[in-house]
Structure 1
């Protein structure tokens, strides 16, 4: 390491196996340090060194002042567990004192070790720490995740998390608790959530949740119901969720264009989990919504969601359009969604049955589908309205705000001329 870098405060990651798991370069940093800051348990792992050890205060403002003072030393080191930039202290210090005053030397994160122990990849997992944050928003993120990695906390140990998940109807994960990773008393426990709720673990643990194959999301039962634009996670969904629920923002735009009246007859073709059909039924409270869906498992989801929302005017039609449309009453509004590859026959058949003054709205996900569908709708002989819907939702992560983009899609709408108009 350069002389310039050595003049900075080094934030050094260390594992539960102490100095034995460090590289030779990291051990040299500790041996040459004149002051070493860290939590008491982490300092105990360092062993005997020449430098003065100083226990870091638990309250961050006081710890920040200690770090300021330590930076006046010739070779200051701050030791912390695992990767200091992965839910560690390094980001907090760099944000408040400037990145130029620090050098970060990471160790393998205990989260990385935990996923390695259970032989699961972690690049697609939802990862977070429960320290200092409420459990409820974390439960909502877990609900729709495939894999989850959690740093537990004194307040939220694995048994409490398991009980909370079960209380929310989330029972479709198998759980692993990885304790004291890298140390002689390391232990990995696999359990069902119901079993986990009755177990006790060492404070140093990582909880991993892996979704069981083929299990649908359970709806989020918290909060009130909206007439339209309900959050995606209030609907029971099959997996993968993408493409099976029309996102709330897109759904709201589509329903606005459909211009549904209290007595309307509505077709939802390719209804998936039924989110749009159910909200259309709430708008057409005296009418009927027909949810056309070829997959038997999704038909069951539509019926379950309709029952949860109390929309008795949703009628499921198990079949593939356009053949399944033959015996249905003519609609006042038609929505076409789902993952169909050929929308042109559906557009022609549905618009042909549409009552005068009614609107057809189409939601597609690819540029190729947009192009072919747009040309098919232009052949209907009426103006076609088109939107490119690109939305990002704000997500709080620790003490920062970031935006997660939902998959972009396209809406197309065409209205049939009212009787007596050309």
Structure 2
């Protein structure tokens, strides 16, 4: 006998059981020949059916049993079956054509609704599938976070780990037993949450406080260049203006630094290029040129973090502040519009013979103008367009988040 199409219904159900289910869901459950779920979910559905299958640790065996069933199967899961649920796995094992999915509001959705925060831009994860250490590193630069915690790593353990790493710039919410009569939402600082205990059925939400700067991760395992963006202190709300690690690595490679190079970093921002140039040229000197006083302080802090003493912050507007600087062996400049072309032309004039200028340009129009300026000055000009995507785990799947395209122009003074 051939299996009928869509004979497996994967149904999301809340803690209120059938009371919160639609008539259509009740009908599917009542007409099922096989009812599947863990002990807790099955207990929410009283009554008798032909057979009940309790989901335990051996999910593969359960999937095989479901696949072999020719009658109607109702698989009950908490919340949304596609949100850290069984739906994706069962569709793959049983056959997508045999499955229908009936969603319910997930506990993550309920949690964000309870604290009145949107969740479309949040980092969402499950500590049952990822190590606490890896999750903490992702939290470091996040704006909002939604966590399914575990018995081993409950909200108190998460809060303690964050406080230990000085990632203390979040307001925390712990939402327990969502949808049940004993539902409770606790709000507090991470320090306060670290000293409390919570019911195992909880969702933890973190909301970044104001424009607090990131606390960079330990730089003790740093590389000479291409360090992760989160290794640097960055300003808020200008977070994200730092030269991305991938672009930075290519730019520094094209600057062809020696151990004694004199480097100008024009528009240094938080100083990521300056710091890594200083690491590559330990006997040289890097001048981090920046007109923003707050960013100048970030340059100093990042230089201290990476223990480089050959970075000199230069506060002021280019090109006026260049007058007293020694001629450079290499120049890095970043920006958009006509200003970057003008500064590239003036900086190239100051380069020593055989010196290298690398410009990171944000727009195609700026690229055209910078290339035209440098091509008029030298025949050794190269151009790259860098399209980079970073992999991240989101909802049990690999997701590639693309960075803004970057254009690099490198020119050598003959």
TM-score, structure 1 as length reference: 0.92
Q: Does 1:247 align with 2:244?
A: yes
**Which of 305, 310, 313 in structure 1 is aligned with 2:307?**
310
Is the 2:66–2:94 contact (alpha carbons within 8 Å) kept by the matching residues of 1? no
Query: Which residue is equivalent to 1:272?
Result: 269
Query: Which residue is equivalent to 2:107?
Result: 110
Q: 1:56 to 1:32 in 2, by over 3 A?
A: same
Query: Which residue is equivalent to 1:27?
Result: 26
Alpha-carbon distance between aligned partners in 2 of 1:257 and 1:132, rounded to the nearest angstrom: 40
Instruction: Write the mapping of 1:14-413 to structure 2, written as runs, cut at 5 A.
Output: 14-50=13-49, 52-69=51-68, 71-72=69-70, 74-221=71-218, 224-240=221-237, 243-338=240-335, 342-397=339-394, 400-413=397-410
Unaligned stretches of 5+ in structure 2? none
Cα shift at 1:243: 4.3
Q: 1:49 to 1:326 in 2, by over 3 A?
A: farther
Cα shift at 1:124: 1.0
Alpha-carbon distance between aligned partners in 1 of 2:344 and 2:379, rounded to the nearest angstrom: 13
Alpha-carbon RMSD across the aligned residues, in angstroms, is 2.1
The DSSP-based 3-state class of the residue aligned with 2:221 is coil
Q: 1:165 to 1:340 in 2, by over 3 A?
A: farther
Q: Which runs of 4+ in 1 moved over 4 A?
A: 240-243, 338-341, 396-400
The DSSP-based 3-state class of the residue aligned with 2:247 is helix
Cα shift at 1:398: 6.6
Cα shift at 1:281: 0.3
Is the 2:172–2:205 contact (alpha carbons within 8 Å) kept by the matching residues of 1? yes
Cα shift at 1:190: 1.0
Q: Deviations over 1:222-264 (max 9, x none)?
A: 6611111112221111235654221222111111111111111
**For structure 1, which segment, 143-152 or 395-404, has the greater mean C-alpha deviation from structure 2 after superposition?**
395-404
Unaligned stretches of 5+ in structure 1? 418-422
Q: Deviations over 1:5-60 (max 9, x none)?
A: 5x511110011222222222112212222321111111122233545433211232
Q: 1:17 to 1:342 in 2, by over 3 A?
A: farther
Is the 1:272–1:338 contact (alpha carbons within 8 Å) kept by the matching residues of 2? no
Q: 1:60 to 1:349 in 2, by over 3 A?
A: same
Alpha-carbon distance between aligned partners in 2 of 1:114 and 1:287, rounded to the nearest angstrom: 54
Is the 2:360–2:406 contact (alpha carbons within 8 Å) kept by the matching residues of 1? yes
Is the 1:270–1:339 contact (alpha carbons within 8 Å) kept by the matching residues of 2? no
Alpha-carbon distance between aligned partners in 2 of 1:40 and 1:63, rounded to the nearest angstrom: 14
Alpha-carbon distance between aligned partners in 2 of 1:49 and 1:291, rounded to the nearest angstrom: 74
Query: Which residue is equivalent to 1:10?
Result: 9
Alpha-carbon distance between aligned partners in 1 of 2:366 and 2:22, rounded to the nearest angstrom: 54
